[in-house]
Amino acid sequence: MSATPIPDDQRIRLLNAIRSGATRTGACAVARVGYSTFKEWLNDDPVWREAVEESESSAETTASLTIMQAARKDWRAAYWWLDHAPSTKQAWRSI
């Protein structure tokens, strides 16, 4: 467990910001937490790390769904997704 406990209000602000699409650095700014403290919490607390990773996955899924919905009307959204999605990035660039 982390030597410095994570206050509930900061935990909530961090996870909400990340779930909304903020980067880890941006979420730290919103929650007024130093990035080095955030990294310490990630390294020391596997439950916290899992919560952060789940929030990041949620944000990624929401963004992907939004892009795919836009792709139905505009091919450029599909092109953007193909160019940026981690699973397709490597293969797409080799074409």
Residue 86 has pLDDT above 90, yes or no: no
Residue 94 has pLDDT above 60, yes or no: no
For residue 23, the model assigns a pLDDT of 96
Residue range 19-65, pLDDT digits in tens: 999 999 999 999 999 999 999 999 999 999 999 999 999 998 898 89
> Over pLDDT 70: what percentage of the chain?
86
12 pLDDT band, cuts 50/70/90, is very high
Helices (H), 1-95: 8-19, 24-31, 35-44, 46-71, 75-84, 86-93
